Amino acid sequence: MTRIAFLGTPRAAVPALRTLAEEGVAAVFCNPDRPVGRGRHLEPPPVKAAALERGLPVHQPESWKAPGTRDLWTSLGIELAVVVAYGHLLPRWMLDACPLGVWNLHFSLLPRWRGAAPVNHALLAGDEETGVSLMRLTPGLDEGPVLAQCRRPIAHTDTAETLLDALASDAADLLMDQLPILLSGGAAPAVQDASAATYAPKLAREMAPLDWRRPAPDLHRQVRALAPWPGSEVRLEGQTLKVCGVGGIRHCYREPGQILWGREEGAWLTTPDGALELTLLQRPGKPVQPALQALQPWGAKGSLALG
């Protein structure tokens, strides 16, 4: 039986692990347990939890440069490796050590959105579709040849979380379809068109503020793309309000840069080309609330300029 390794860490990698486990997995690699919550207790990553449920051996090196990691990998005799959102750059020696290759399920239609946050950047850019690419890993950033892709339209209601969940399921299906080819050693992936490449860098805290001077559709995409982290926010009378949900967009002739609200009309952020409906807000130290409830400290109805 082919000796297969799976490398992944977050929830989005779990469906592919479950698919691969049906074939048999010799080893699972994921990030170390991390402290979470106020108590800072150690919590295993989702891939570790899923692997242990199936009795699969788990390894959690802090770095592939750590002493003994290469010896460990060599001792496992891995012939084929599948990577999904692992979170580590893999050394060339490891890529060269697998006779059937190291294959990555990447959540974009490569060469578009190479990098760490492809789903978020597809939403931010207003792409009409995205997908999953099965590519052979090479030392360059998501530059390897692509064996197969599946496509998915992006809905106006999609958030980064909902879209990633859907793509994670798509990735598992794509892996199931292509696994016989990978195991046979007959995969013939196609070289990417480097001239068409775009990049999706890591998200940053500085991306959170909503700039009301931008068009309402841009802000709509920003809220959906940056939830839950770094999130989106506005300043209202010295307080930072997190914008956790948005609805429709409508014409508005009020001065841009205001929040308008009332029981009948709901809550809206005015921009130069219209108004963006705010459905969920979070005040400092409070839970996420319906927008009208979160705005109650300023009255049941009103309008305030953003800071």
Ordered per-residue pLDDT tens for the chain, 307 residues: 899 999 999 999 999 999 999 999 999 999 999 988 777 889 999 999 999 999 999 999 999 998 899 999 999 999 999 999 998 989 999 999 999 999 999 999 999 999 999 999 999 999 999 999 999 999 999 999 999 999 999 999 999 999 999 999 999 999 999 999 999 999 999 999 999 999 999 999 999 999 999 999 999 999 999 999 999 999 999 999 999 999 999 999 899 999 999 999 999 999 999 999 999 999 999 999 999 999 999 999 999 999 8
| Domains of the chain: total | 2
Q: Which of 156, 173, 200 is the last residue of a domain?
A: 200
Q: Which of 184, 200, 216 is the last residue of a domain?
A: 200
Can you give the residue range of the structural domain that contains 261? 205-305
pLDDT for residue 33: 92
C-alpha distances (whole Å) from 276 to each of 34, 160, 186 are 38, 19, 51
Query: Do 108 and 16 fall within a single domain?
Result: yes
220 touches 276 (CB < 8 A) = yes
Say which residues have a Cβ less than 8 Å from residue 45's Cβ, sequence separation at least 6: 9, 10, 30, 31, 33, 34
The beta strands (E) that lie in the chain are given as 4-8, 27-29, 34-36, 41-43, 58-59, 80-84, 102-106, 114-115, 129-136, 146-153, 199-200, 232-236, 239-250, 258-262, 266-271, 274-282, 289-290, 302-305
Query: Do 40 and 164 fall within a single domain?
Result: yes
Query: Do 151 and 216 fall within a single domain?
Result: no
Alpha-carbon gap, residue 252 to 4, rounded angstroms: 58
pLDDT for residue 5: 98
Query: Do 159 and 290 fall within a single domain?
Result: no
Strand partners, 36: 41
Query: Do 150 and 46 fall within a single domain?
Result: yes
Query: Do 84 and 133 fall within a single domain?
Result: yes
Query: Do 100 and 234 fall within a single domain?
Result: no
Say which residues have a Cβ less than 8 Å from residue 301's Cβ, sequence separation at least 6: 261, 262, 263
Alpha-carbon gap, residue 274 to 53, rounded angstroms: 50
Query: Do 100 and 69 fall within a single domain?
Result: yes
Question: What CATH number does residue 271 fall under?
Answer: 3.10.25.10
| Backbone dihedral angles phi then psi of residue 262, each to the nearest 5 degrees | -175, 160
In this structure, the chain runs to a length of 307
Query: Do 40 and 123 fall within a single domain?
Result: yes
* H runs (alpha helix) in the chain: 14-21, 46-53, 69-76, 92-97, 118-125, 160-184, 216-225, 291-294
Cα 291 to the chain's mean position, in Å?
26
Query: Do 265 and 289 fall within a single domain?
Result: yes
Can you give the pTM of this predicted structure? Answer: 0.95
Alpha-carbon gap, residue 8 to 58, rounded angstroms: 11
pLDDT for residue 67: 85
Q: Which of 200, 234, 262 is the last residue of a domain?
A: 200
Query: Do 41 and 111 fall within a single domain?
Result: yes
Alpha-carbon gap, residue 57 to 296, rounded angstroms: 53
Query: Do 102 and 239 fall within a single domain?
Result: no
Pairing mode, strands 114-115 and 4-8: unpaired
Question: What CATH number does residue 169 fall under?
Answer: 3.40.50.170
